[in-house]
Structure 1
């Protein structure tokens, strides 16, 4: 599946690689012919007429083969890197969540794959010790309303195995009477931190692999932000930049809903 997605995202890469191979073969054939003409001339000075031109042609062929071999190698490495990234994204999409608290395989809501949130939410995975996750939660509170308008949902993952207790301030709990829009947004903002990872060993393995590839120490607290299409748009060591998310991401509401789903920034 990752290879198929790679072909879709870079449809002309295979064509370029084919032509690079063809040019390499053509240059190698020309070089071989020039070499067969040059060797007798070097062995017999009487046949040295035109040896300079033959040598020049051989140099051009060798240079062409070297150039196209470099271009082919670069394309091949880019393809391998893209396939590896897409494979990691597929593994991420198969990781499971549930809505509400729950440990292990019991408690909370029905487990579902992360891929089921594609097109509806921008996830921010917050992984680290429970104290780090709790502080990330506290730092997000001034921006809960704006984050909710941008369909941002947090996935808190305590890597030290401690239980998380994420409590909103009493002021955030108060609700006005009536069905105005502020009440609806307030309710959505309180749901921002209600996702819980399921099968935490698989989550831990995926995060460890990501850290190794990024050269990040295994015990470092990190965050990863996903685009609405489920692809990774940003990551870093330390607390998530909630204010930056609010500034960078367009709201998902009204006539703009769905229009900017693919405009969440470049993919890492």
Structure 2
């Protein structure tokens, strides 16, 4: 960006000199033949200033947007999650350990997301996906788990996938409302956010989370593909 400023200053100085020369030439009939050349030089200088000013503005805008995004992600990392009765951790504590999928919507949205995730439970856990359901209508959803002995292992995995719960609801609500405003999404719309292993947002959308897409796009953390697909966690949005 320093170079843009330098070029703008150089072009501005050149334009000032050319403008001074043009005024002098216009007021002196004996220099009338110099006017076209001076005007051409002035146009070039002004054009250069305009181009570099635009490039500077574009890069500065992109830089500010990136800084704002990093600030929002840092705020997200400070939000807290209840793991169990004894542990409450910030989102940042899950970096390198889990890919969080944050759901925000009314009770019906959370319950339907819970039901639709069932066929993908094992595959999601293999990819270190953990769900953070945030209910926006004040109704606490009651997740139904099959307690039969033959499905004991499956139920344990279901509980693990859905074991997290956000705490300090006002802070979560404020952060989500800000995100919706920036994205131009209605405050009433149910949304999901998918985080990478490093805690940065890799995807988001309105409506139900695409569990099948998560399974297809995210590499498992164990087995043959572990290590080979490191870094293929999705681009940052």
How does the TM-score come out when normalised to structure 2? Answer: 0.94
Query: Which residue of the partner structure matches residue 168 of structure 1?
Result: 145
> Deviation per CA, 1:131-163, whole angstroms, max 9, x where unpaired?
110110000000001001000000011111111
1:33 aligns to 2:33 (yes or no): no
> Deviation per CA, 1:192-226, whole angstroms, max 9, x where unpaired?
10001010100000000000001111111111101
Note if contact 1:126-1:223 (Cα within 8 Å) is conserved in structure 2.
yes
Query: Which residue of the partner structure matches residue 43 of structure 2?
Result: 59
Task: Report 1:152-231 matches (<5 A).
Answer: 152-170=129-147, 174-175=151-152, 187-231=156-200
| Aligned CA distance change for structure 1 residues 65 and 40 (closer, same or farther; 3 Å) | same
- Partner SS, residue 223 of structure 1: strand
> Deviation per CA, 1:81-122, whole angstroms, max 9, x where unpaired?
11111100000000000113xxxxxxx232111000001110
Q: Distance in 1 between matches of 2:157 and 2:17?
A: 73
- Partner SS, residue 33 of structure 2: coil
Q: Cα distance, 1:257 vs. partner?
A: 3.7
Partner residue of 2:54 out of 40, 48, 70 = 70
Q: Distance in 1 between matches of 2:214 and 2:124?
A: 8
Query: Which residue of the partner structure matches residue 133 of structure 1?
Result: 110
How does the TM-score come out when normalised to structure 1? Answer: 0.84
Note if contact 1:143-1:246 (Cα within 8 Å) is conserved in structure 2.
yes
| Aligned CA distance change for structure 1 residues 247 and 49 (closer, same or farther; 3 Å) | same
Note if contact 2:146-2:155 (Cα within 8 Å) is conserved in structure 1.
no
- Partner SS, residue 174 of structure 1: helix
> Deviation per CA, 1:3-27, whole angstroms, max 9, x where unpaired?
xxxxxxxxxxxxxx11000000010
Q: Distance in 1 between matches of 2:217 and 2:235?
A: 12
Q: Cα distance, 1:264 vs. partner?
A: 1.6
Q: Which one is further off, 238-247 or 50-59?
A: 50-59
Q: Cα distance, 1:53 vs. partner?
A: 1.1
Q: Cα distance, 1:256 vs. partner?
A: 4.1
Q: Distance in 1 between matches of 2:133 and 2:233?
A: 21
Note if contact 1:97-1:113 (Cα within 8 Å) is conserved in structure 2.
yes
Q: Distance in 1 between matches of 2:15 and 2:45?
A: 5
Task: Report 1:40-55 matches (<5 A).
Answer: 40-55=24-39
Q: Distance in 1 between matches of 2:57 and 2:93?
A: 37
Q: Distance in 2 between matches of 1:260 and 1:200?
A: 36
| Aligned CA distance change for structure 1 residues 261 and 153 (closer, same or farther; 3 Å) | farther
**How many equivalent pairs are there?**
237
Partner residue of 2:209 out of 222, 240, 243 = 240
Query: Which residue of the partner structure matches residue 125 of structure 2?
Result: 148
Query: Which residue of the partner structure matches residue 90 of structure 1?
Result: 74
Query: Which residue of the partner structure matches residue 97 of structure 2?
Result: 120
